[in-house]
Chains A and B, each alone.
Chain A
Amino acid sequence: MATGTLKKIDAPTVIYTVLFFFIGISMLIPLVWMISTSFKIEADVFEFPIRWIPKRWNAIENYKEVWGAEYNFGLFYWNSIKVTVLSTFFQVIVSALGAYAFTKITWKGRDTLFILYLATMMIPPQITVVSRFMILQATNLYNSHLGIILMTMLSTYGVFLLRQALIGIPQSLSEAARIDGAGHFRIFWQIMFPLLKPSIATLAILKFVWTWNDYQTPLVFLNKRSLFTIQLGMKQFASESGSYFSLIMAAAVSATIPLVIVFIFSQRYVIDGIASGAVKG
């Protein structure tokens, strides 16, 4: 065998490819264990050595229990979808408008306000949580989805992300439109919004995943069970079903796997979005 002819398949490539597939798969073991356990009967949960494909199946009963009337994961799902979709949608609109105001319109106090926005970004949410709680109590928005949606949709994070993107769009573009007599709203909607689409996609993806997986906000601001989101419902289920681990795993699968499946199919967008949110200027 002549050396150097098969350049592409050299030793490090083979070793590292095998190694990293091994690492990747090992990282998924806890999730595989979760899925496998959710199909088992309770007595087989801690069987050792682990039987990855259950001997005695109990999948239908387990999932029926989780999604059935008493625990009602369907309702938790609906609540999560409602909160996440609305919050993401309005966050995008509010952020785009704000970002436009901070880049394409000249008004008094613009820079001062922006610095104020920046300064408060350093502050951890633990500082605001108590006061937010009181504000929601006072306005009767405690224990409502509206309160959660309002709080999560109005974060300043999106303004920053989109402002950064808008700065990259040449000023001359909007000025030309101005001279042609277009109002700000038309420029925003017909010129800037389409140009912003990639950044908006990034923001929407990040926001969606964060809100969907958010546990702390609903924990603090909701205590009525019928309003629980999937994360809160999952926690509640785990603490109430005590040591029925097969059931708890069925609940965990229900809370995790749909988003993971969506992720696998859209991984390119999600990963690129998250990476560009972090790296690109």
Chain B
Amino acid sequence: MPFFQLVEIVNFNIIRGTVNAEHCANQWKEEKMAKNELKKTGNNFLALENRKGVNRTYMQEQLSGILFVAPSFIGFLVFTLIPVIASLVLSFTEWNFLRGWNAVSFNGLENFKRLFKDDWFLTSYGNNLIFTLGTIPLLIALGLVCAHIVNTYVKAPVAVRVMMFIPYIASVVAISTVWMVLFQPSYGPINNFLMAIGIKQPPGWLTSTKTALLSIMIVYVWQNIGYYLVVFMSGLKAIDFAVYEAASIDGASGVQKFFYITVPLISPTTFFLTTMGIIGSFKVFDQISVMTNGGPGNASSVMAFYIYRTAFENFEMGYANTLAWALFVLIFLVTMIQWRAQKSFAVE
């Protein structure tokens, strides 16, 4: 799906927390203070009630809290917490799902050792990195430059925004199917066009090991650029116009304004989009499942796809979980590096 935030896992508050650390800290303080106050008034209230011999309020608060949080907590418990723990346990086992529960057998670190000898895993892991490094910086740069230009110069920015956003709202499955046909190497419209303008040996796109992943990356950038544009545009609106005016008076050129005002002031949005983008791009699945099935060979396989294949086509549930944790480690490391890098950049 175009929504790289696969529904369940959007850790956007963590990110937002970091973006707006100060803001968050204040909020936290306010909350703490409010809570203390509430406690005080609550205690007075309790004292009052206690005199009458009733200690109802406190219990009532507890009960209400539990009742209100219960629906989301049950979901969290059943579909997140238990699965995460189960997955960790299963990652140390060998288990063919088709043979039932009795077939679960622990094999220690076997699965993790297997990773290093598994060609599909190594390729998918590397492809994930290539995919992220190839798409996210491009989307950020293009998105920001386009948003800046559309915001400052373009008449009818809403129309441009809508046109560029439509691919994002369209279903990935349908869109991927369309691109698959467009990319068709011998008579597809893209290669027809390339041959018409004189390129004798147009690329094989999805059918060649060299270009399969690249083709998917092109589709991914095409589909997601609208999202980056829209978020950047809305972030740019928040920048005080007076700053630009002051710079104009000082004789700053458009390019200077872009690099010395827009880029630094938009950095919280950039940070948010980079983090979300990285996490999302590591989970890319639909495009690959529809367009190439990981092929040719395993040239365009990525972790999400390989995990799916291992679990639901080969039924190796234990190893699939090992792979999933390997993916987690990769996402975690890359995100940490990006946070470090962007933080030091922001300080400067």
Which A residues lie within 8 Å of B165 (CB)? 263, 267, 271
Judge whether A190 is part of the interface by a CB distance below 8 angstroms: no
Q: Mark B191-211, 1 if CB is under 8 A from A, else 0.
A: 011001000000000000000
Which B residues lie within 8 Å of A235 (CB)? 173, 177, 290
Q: Is the interface of A mostly helix, strand, loop or mixed?
A: helix
User: Do A128 and B187 touch (CB < 8 A)?
Assistant: no
User: Do A27 and B170 touch (CB < 8 A)?
Assistant: no
Q: Mark A57-86, 1 if CB is under 8 A from B, else 0.
A: 000000000000000000000000000000
Which A residues lie within 8 Å of B41 (CB)? 175
Contact of A279 among B6, B272, B325 (CB under 8 A): B272
User: Do B76 and A156 touch (CB < 8 A)?
Assistant: yes
Task: Give the residue name and chain of the A residue nearest to B162 (CB).
Answer: A267
Answer whether A130 and B75 are a contact pair too, CB < 8 Å, given A157-B7, A264-B162.
Answer: no
Which A residues lie within 8 Å of B23 (CB)? 281
Which A residues lie within 8 Å of B325 (CB)? 127
Judge whether A269 is part of the interface by a CB distance below 8 angstroms: no
Judge whether A133 is part of the interface by a CB distance below 8 angstroms: yes
Task: Give the residue name and chain of the A residue nearest to B195 (CB).
Answer: A48
Say how far B191's CB is from chain A's closest CB, in angstroms.
10
Answer whether A13 and B153 are a contact pair too, CB < 8 Å, given A121-B9, A126-B304, A256-B174.
Answer: yes
Judge whether B149 is part of the interface by a CB distance below 8 angstroms: yes
A259 to B285, CA, bound (A): 21
Answer whether A127 and B192 are a contact pair too, CB < 8 Å, given A33-B182, A101-B69, A260-B170.
Answer: no
Contact of A101 among B3, B65, B162, B332 (CB under 8 A): B65
User: Do A120 and B286 touch (CB < 8 A)?
Assistant: no
A164 to B19, CA, bound (A): 14
Q: Mark A186-207, 1 if CB is under 8 A from B, else 0.
A: 0010000000000000000011
A183 to B67, CA, bound (A): 13
- Sorting the interface of chain A by its residue count into under 10, 10 to 19, 20 to 34 or 35 or more gives 35 or more
Which A residues lie within 8 Å of B158 (CB)? 267
User: Do B76 and A263 touch (CB < 8 A)?
Assistant: no
Contact of A121 among B14, B282, B324 (CB under 8 A): B14
Task: Give the residue name and chain of the A residue nearest to B321 (CB).
Answer: A130
A271 to B150, CA, bound (A): 15
Contact of A27 among B12, B65, B164, B332 (CB under 8 A): B164
User: Do A101 and B68 touch (CB < 8 A)?
Assistant: yes
Task: Give the residue name and chain of the A residue nearest to B331 (CB).
Answer: A124
Which A residues lie within 8 Å of B188 (CB)? 46
Contact of B171 among A131, A155, A259 (CB under 8 A): A259
Contact of B166 among A20, A155, A263 (CB under 8 A): A263
Pick from A30, A116, A211, A270 the residue with the most CB of B within 10 Å. Answer: A30
User: Do A160 and B303 touch (CB < 8 A)?
Assistant: no
A271 to B175, CA, bound (A): 20
Which B residues lie within 8 Å of A94 (CB)? 71-72, 75
Judge whether B2 is part of the interface by a CB distance below 8 angstroms: yes
Known: A122-B332, A157-B7, A252-B177. 5 other contacts (CB 8 A): A50-B189, A216-B1, A263-B169, A264-B166, A281-B23
Judge whether B167 is part of the interface by a CB distance below 8 angstroms: yes
Judge whether B214 is part of the interface by a CB distance below 8 angstroms: no
User: Do B38 and A128 touch (CB < 8 A)?
Assistant: no
User: Do A20 and B13 touch (CB < 8 A)?
Assistant: no
Which B residues lie within 8 Å of A50 (CB)? 189
Answer whether A12 and B153 are a contact pair too, CB < 8 Å, given A98-B71, A213-B172.
Answer: yes
How many cross-chain pairs have Cβ atoms below 8 Å apart between A and B? Answer: 361
Which B residues lie within 8 Å of A49 (CB)? 196
Q: At the interface with chain A, which of B106-114, B307-315, B340-348? A: B307-315
Contact of B273 among A31, A132, A264, A278 (CB under 8 A): A278
A259 to B165, CA, bound (A): 13
Which positions 37-60 of chain A face chain B at CB distance < 8 Å?
Answer: 37, 46, 48-50
Q: Mark A161-190, 1 if CB is under 8 A from B, else 0.
A: 001100100010001000000011100100
Judge whether B160 is part of the interface by a CB distance below 8 angstroms: yes
User: Do B160 and A155 touch (CB < 8 A)?
Assistant: no
Say how far A200's CB is from chain B's closest CB, in angstroms.
15
User: Do A130 and B159 touch (CB < 8 A)?
Assistant: no
Task: Give the residue name and chain of the B residue nearest to A232 (CB).
Answer: B173
User: Do B61 and A20 touch (CB < 8 A)?
Assistant: no
User: Do B192 and A48 touch (CB < 8 A)?
Assistant: yes
Task: Give the residue name and chain of the B residue nearest to A223 (CB).
Answer: B312
Answer whether A279 and B235 are a contact pair too, CB < 8 Å, given A21-B159, A106-B38, A252-B177.
Answer: yes
Answer whether A123 and B84 are a contact pair too, CB < 8 Å, given A101-B65, A118-B14, A220-B312.
Answer: yes
Judge whether B102 is part of the interface by a CB distance below 8 angstroms: no
Which A residues lie within 8 Å of B84 (CB)? 120, 123, 127-128, 131
User: Do A126 and B283 touch (CB < 8 A)?
Assistant: yes
